[in-house]
Amino acid sequence: FSSRVGYDFSQDTRWELSTRYTKSHDELDDVWGQENSGNKDNGNSTTIDDFYLSTLFKTKFFDWWQFKVNPNMYFQEAFTIATAENDYFINRQYTFYLENNMKLGRHLSFLLGGEYERQEGDSDGNFGGTGYKEFTDNKAFFIQSIYDYKNIMVVTAGLRHDINSRFDKVDTYKIEAGHNFLKTNTKLHAAFATGFRAPTFNDYKLTPELLSERTKSFEIGVKQSLMDEKIRLGVTFFNSITHNFIQAHSVSPWTTENFGKFHSQGIETELDLKLPHNFSLSMRHTWNDHYLNEKTKPTNHQPGNRRPKHKVNANLTHNWNNKLDSLVGIFARGSAKGWSAINETKGYATVRSAFTYKYNKNIKITLRGENLLNKDYVEVGGFSTAGINGYGGFVYTFN
């Protein structure tokens, strides 16, 4: 169940309340099952309740100053019934987000804000462990400046300062720039960024001495429009290096460790075509060449777990009389290494479709089908996936 309710106090002031609740019961296959198969049922299952609540308020103090505040909370409760033991987890997250957007002159704007986040986790057991009760507090302040000169040149620079109760202080930043050649409809773009990822509560309990991942990355690319933007092409090269890379242990998969330095580089290509009779075709391909230099074997290049080298996504869409939108899509990916030979996965391809019909000005009817060819495939070694499945719903708009 999900809902969003909003009210406009004025043209510049709005309040929104969003909620989402999901209850699921998942049967778990035997992770020690046959290679590239998850069909060994051992009676394990997990029941999960997820609840999310967000209340957003935004307004304009002046024509050049927009203010936004968004308190939200997330709650998850999970109960696992397994042959070895039963595990119980509760995760809570409370966030208060504040943002100021200020436009100074014709070309320069600033974004200033802050965020407070508290995470809490409780568990009575963790794969044979003794359970945990943990929390972290994180305060963050950020600033971003954007220089946009007549949509010809755009330069963005941002800095974020985090104060974490477990990691003390962390600074990250990102710089990106783009140039648009209007005569040829050519766009060049480049970016450089740093980042970090903290271990989860489960990681801490199993391996208390874990360090946070630290990442440096850059990308550079070009986009080209042809035939009055009926054809759009794009190519982007990316490269990133992650230090203290966290990954499950190959011998004891329920424990994690900082394996070493993870390298990831590749090329993303995109193609968009506007076809006759209101058809459109979009295609995306990612080639990702990655390897891991283990700290104990720095010259031993091993591919990362669960990361295929190739991913392809293609969607054919059509609009009929501004009432019916339809989509047929294909997703394909290559093989991926697992944390053991028995958990490696082969490549696969699936077909999906989606329809949205505008019944009247207030009601839209939605239909969606996944894995239409009932492909028997595996995303994570040892765990099977759903066969052909469908979803239906509607959207009602008050106006």
User: Between 10 and 380, where is the model more confident?
Assistant: 10
**Identity (one letter) of the amino acid at 36?**
N
The three-class DSSP label of residue 310 is strand
Q: What are phi and psi of 189, to 5 degrees?
A: -145, 150
Residues in the chain: 399
Q: Does residue 279 carry a pLDDT above 80?
A: yes
Q: What are phi and psi of 123, to 5 degrees?
A: -150, 140
Exposure on the CB side of residue 180, measured as CA atoms within 13 A: 11
User: What does the pLDDT look like over 219-240, one tens digit per residue?
Assistant: 999 999 999 999 999 999 999 9
The three-class DSSP label of residue 35 is coil
User: Between 384 and 109, where is the model more confident?
Assistant: 109
Structure tokens at 259: 């394996």
Residues 6 or more apart whose Cβ sits within 8 Å of residue 11: none
Q: CA dihedral in degrees (31, 86, 259, 32; nearest 10)?
A: -10
pLDDT at 41: 63
pLDDT at 161: 97
pLDDT at 201: 79
pLDDT at 100: 97
Phi-psi region of 18 (alpha: psi -120 to 50; beta: other; left: phi over 0): beta
Q: Does residue 381 carry a pLDDT above 90?
A: no
The three-class DSSP label of residue 104 is strand
63: exposed, middle or buried (C-beta count within 10 Å: 0-12, 13-18, 19+)? exposed
Q: Does residue 33 carry a pLDDT above 60?
A: no
Q: Does residue 309 carry a pLDDT above 60?
A: yes
User: What does the pLDDT look like over 136-193, one tens digit per residue?
Assistant: 999 999 999 999 998 899 999 999 999 988 887 999 999 999 999 999 999 999 999 9
The closest of 282, 275, 240, 283 to 261, measured between CA atoms, is 240
State the DSSP code for 199. P
Exposure on the CB side of residue 331, measured as CA atoms within 13 A: 11
Alpha-carbon distances, residue 260 vs 242, 253, 254, 274, 337 (angstroms):
8, 17, 18, 45, 17
Q: Does residue 306 carry a pLDDT above 80?
A: yes
The closest of 309, 311, 308, 354 to 331, measured between CA atoms, is 311
Q: Does residue 299 carry a pLDDT above 80?
A: no
The three-class DSSP label of residue 345 is strand
Structure tokens at 64: 């050049």
Q: Does residue 39 carry a pLDDT above 70?
A: no
| Alpha-carbon gap, residue 335 to 340, rounded angstroms | 14
